[in-house]
Structure 1
Amino acid sequence: MHVVTTPTGLCRIEDGAAALLDTAFPHVGAVLEQEGSLQCLASCAVRRRIPLDEVTLTAPLGRPRAVWGVGLNYVSKAARTGRPLPEQPILYLAASSGVCAPGAHVVVPRTTTEPDYEGEIAVVVGRRLYQATEAEIWPAIAAVTAANDMTAREVMRTTGIPALAKSYPGFTPLGPSLRTPDDLADRDAIRVRTRLNGTLLQDDTSAGMIFPIPDLLSRLSWFAALEPGDVVLTGTPAGTGQDRACFLADGDEVRVEVDGVLPLVTRVVRPSDASPRDHRLTEPVG
């Protein structure tokens, strides 16, 4: 099942159109909190059908309770940076206030000198996971979507704290659509690509992960309970701006493509007259 959230309600994507569902749930996050999966949406009656190119897409999950991420989780990224493969996942928890809607214009603070993109596969938890085995992970995942895990590289370098480098307003675009895992052609080799202004710069699959999705979430769940609607960002492959020593500039467009879901587009704004606290152009969730 392929689902999006719009200002008028939840929709299933069917035959290139958005089928507006007869449900009171405002977004997918609310569905997961109550139901633990998206299966209840499969039987919802359709109120009307709208051509997909006429639909305004909003944040599919609302504002998640928790957004987890992992550093250095692709063999290609480790090889590009010359770093050894980590023996344990490098995990962090980012502020959910950084989540923004698909298509948002993200204002980079004037004080941030090295803003970077990170195209990633995001997984959305459907059922509570605590001290879970690897075999329990995929049955508990409600959906897969695209993420752009933006990072202020100079903040990461000077503080060593991922949560600070990744939690600016708008620095975690998610969406625009969600796909249930049973709908994926190969959930062990989900492709992720990132294009900057139309140029393909990242291209890999989840088969290249150091800690595959079941292993990653199982390890995380032994320290923290993952609740319905929580998001886990699963790492970025080689090809970021950090790898090229070239960071995001005013007007740049980042397009993240994940198998099975609609492309996630983020546009970067760096107004020269913006103060460090001026985020009026950013379109966060909530």
Structure 2
Amino acid sequence: MKLVQFYYKHDPERRLRVGSLENDGSINVLEAGITAKEVIELPQIALTNGNIERCKLEDVKLLPPLTNPEKIICIGLNYYDHVIESNMEVPKVPVLFPKFNNCLAGNDDEIVIPWEVEQCDYEVELAVVIGKTAKRIPLESAMDYVFGYTIMNDVSARNIQLNEPQWTRGKAIDGFAPLGPWIVTADELPEPGRLEISLRLNGETMQQSSTKELIFDIPYLVSFLSNTMTLKPGDVISTGTPPGVGMGRRPQVWLKPGDVVEASVEGIGTLRNTFIAE
């Protein structure tokens, strides 16, 4: 199932709706008032409230597939080649930093580059969505707690991130976590550790790799995080970015107003955003 959040383009109140995207491009719309997080918490909602109505994808504006996760946990330096291009050491444990709900943006949303961000960078990432409460989960059962997968662009203000003792302020800017375009449930992606991942900037491929190159894989991350914090349904773990970021290029490449970024993961799709000036 592809789980989407959206509002009807003809709805002046822009009320949030949830549905499942079908192979023919239509959306099976669930009962009004339900959020994607509630579907994840109580998957029977999708069965008891399905087939209320149907609509076409072109008739809706897609929102982030999650708008109210309790936690957005990002993993830094999780591809070997990205560690090298960042001139940093290979981490012995996962490098963690948070993003928050203010950072979320949806597919085709415009992302504002604030005036103080002089070095705005892109980072395509596979994001894991937790499906049930997880605390001290052993490695061998970690995947039982995954609901599905989506795409995140971990937009980063390098001139802030790398000039302060920790990364949060350069990472948690409004709109700097585009997410989507939907959540693909785990049953449709049985091998998330072997997915092609890429990013295009104005049509030019900048990042190209596979999730098999992750230093810390998905089961390890879920188990590791659950040992120190309770993971809740709807929590997002963004697994890190492969090489090719703007910071690592010579000359360096920074996002500018008018740039179009397309972040893609095999089996999920493409998350597209345009960047604009404040």
TM-score, normalisation: structure 2: 0.90
Q: Which among 245, 257, 260 is matched to residue 250 of structure 1? A: 257
- Provide the rounded CA distance (Å) in 2 between the counterparts of 1:143 and 1:182: 8
* Higher mean C-alpha displacement, 185-194 vs 122-131: 185-194
Q: 1:3 corresponds to which letter in structure 2?
A: L
What secondary structure sits across from 1:182 in the alignment? helix
- Provide the rounded CA distance (Å) in 1 between the counterparts of 2:39 and 2:101: 18
- Provide the rounded CA distance (Å) in 2 between the counterparts of 1:152 and 1:226: 27
The answer to whether the 8 A contact 1:18-1:55 is kept is no
Q: After superposition, where does 1:61-76 map in structure 2 within 5 Å?
A: 61-76=66-81
- Provide the rounded CA distance (Å) in 2 between the counterparts of 1:203 and 1:39: 37
Matched, 1:211 2:216: yes
Q: Which among 200, 203, 207 is matched to residue 202 of structure 1? A: 207
Matched, 1:81 2:86: yes
Give the root-mean-square deviation of aligned CA atoms. 1.8
* Higher mean C-alpha displacement, 4-13 vs 131-140: 4-13
Q: After superposition, where does 1:1-286 map in structure 2 within 5 Å?
A: 1-8=1-8, 9-32=17-40, 34-35=41-42, 38=43, 40-42=45-47, 44-184=49-189, 186-244=191-249, 245-271=252-278
What secondary structure sits across from 1:23 in the alignment? coil
Q: CA deviation at 1:248?
A: 0.5
- Provide the rounded CA distance (Å) in 2 between the counterparts of 1:185 and 1:231: 18
Q: CA deviation at 1:83?
A: 3.2
The answer to whether the 8 A contact 2:86-2:247 is kept is no
What secondary structure sits across from 1:195 in the alignment? strand
What secondary structure sits across from 2:215 in the alignment? coil
- Provide the rounded CA distance (Å) in 2 between the counterparts of 1:197 and 1:27: 33
Q: CA deviation at 1:195?
A: 0.7
- Provide the rounded CA distance (Å) in 2 between the counterparts of 1:112 and 1:102: 22
Could you tell me which runs of 5 or more consecutive residues in structure 2 were left unpaired when the two chains were aligned: 9-16
Q: CA deviation at 1:82?
A: 4.3
Q: CA deviation at 1:185?
A: 5.2
Higher strand share: 2
What secondary structure sits across from 1:3 in the alignment? strand
The answer to whether the 8 A contact 2:258-2:276 is kept is yes
The answer to whether the 8 A contact 2:98-2:172 is kept is no
The answer to whether the 8 A contact 1:143-1:180 is kept is yes
The answer to whether the 8 A contact 2:201-2:260 is kept is yes
- Provide the rounded CA distance (Å) in 2 between the counterparts of 1:91 and 1:171: 16
What secondary structure sits across from 2:269 in the alignment? coil
**Identity within the alignment, %:** 29
- Provide the rounded CA distance (Å) in 1 between the counterparts of 2:228 and 2:190: 31
Runs in 1 of length 4+ with deviation above 6 angstroms? none
Shift in alpha-carbon separation, 1:23–1:49, aligned structure 2, 3 A? closer
- Provide the rounded CA distance (Å) in 2 between the counterparts of 1:62 and 1:156: 25
| 1:240-269 CA-partner distances (Å, limit 9, x unpaired) | 111111110111111111122231112111
Q: 2:269 corresponds to which letter in structure 1?
A: L
